[in-house]
Structure 1
Amino acid sequence: MALSFTPTSAKFAVLQISTKRSHLVVMKCELNERNSSEKKLEIGSPIIVIEAPKLLKTAASVPCLRANAGLVNPGDVGRIVSRKPKDVWAVRLSIGTYLMDAKYFKPLELDG
């Protein structure tokens, strides 16, 4: 079996597989591109909430899931505590530490 990988652009590539019986399979695969804002996020980075999540999950050893009844609002500022799988971050806010998806906040750019 012969295998070749040909990048065609920044987003797509063509993977060609041929076997002894001359079968040819062509697939397009989308390559993952990281967000420019994700590169700026690291432990200790300040963040600002841009959208209030509907549910909040605490970052305790025994997590608790609860509805966001005005606890976290857009404009709240916090710090990254740790990174979890699937673009989830532990964020320390003034009311506690919560697990939040990266779509709910962005890095806070401090002028200094």
Structure 2
Amino acid sequence: MSQEFTIGSKVRVMALPPYVKTADPMPMLRPPDVIHIGEEGIVIDRRPGGYWGIRFTRGFFLLDSQYIESIEKPPESHLE
């Protein structure tokens, strides 16, 4: 089961895929070195096939949820 992210949330790259797909209207495959492990981006949208559109400093790319993790803090519980 793929992880769910909220649109606008921040994510971090945990692992690099064999290639990176651009999120252009006509997607292109790029070598994985256009992004780096630990790089942070913002989730822009959800795409078919379990892909997430993420804006990084070097562009807008599509990544599967297995390669990213949320860096948003979960809401704190006020149970006392």
Larger radius of gyration: 1
Runs of 4+ in structure 1 off by over 6 angstroms are none
TM-score (norm 2): 0.81
**Which consecutive unaligned segments of at least 5 residues does structure 1 have?**
1-33
TM-score (norm 1): 0.60
**Which consecutive unaligned segments of at least 5 residues does structure 2 have?**
75-80
Question: What is the aligned residue count?
Answer: 74
Correspondence 1:1-112 to 2 at 5 A: 37-38=3-4, 41-68=5-32, 70-110=33-73
Provide Cα deviations, 1:74-103, integer angstroms capped at 9, x if missing partner. 100000010011221001000000010000
Percent identical across equivalent pairs?
A: 31
Q: Distance in 1 between matches of 2:72 and 2:53?
A: 19
- Larger RCO, structure (CA 8 Å, separation 6 or more): 2
Greater share of residues in strand: 1
CA RMSD of aligned residues (A): 1.7
- CA positional deviation for 1:105: 0.3
- CA positional deviation for 1:71: 1.6
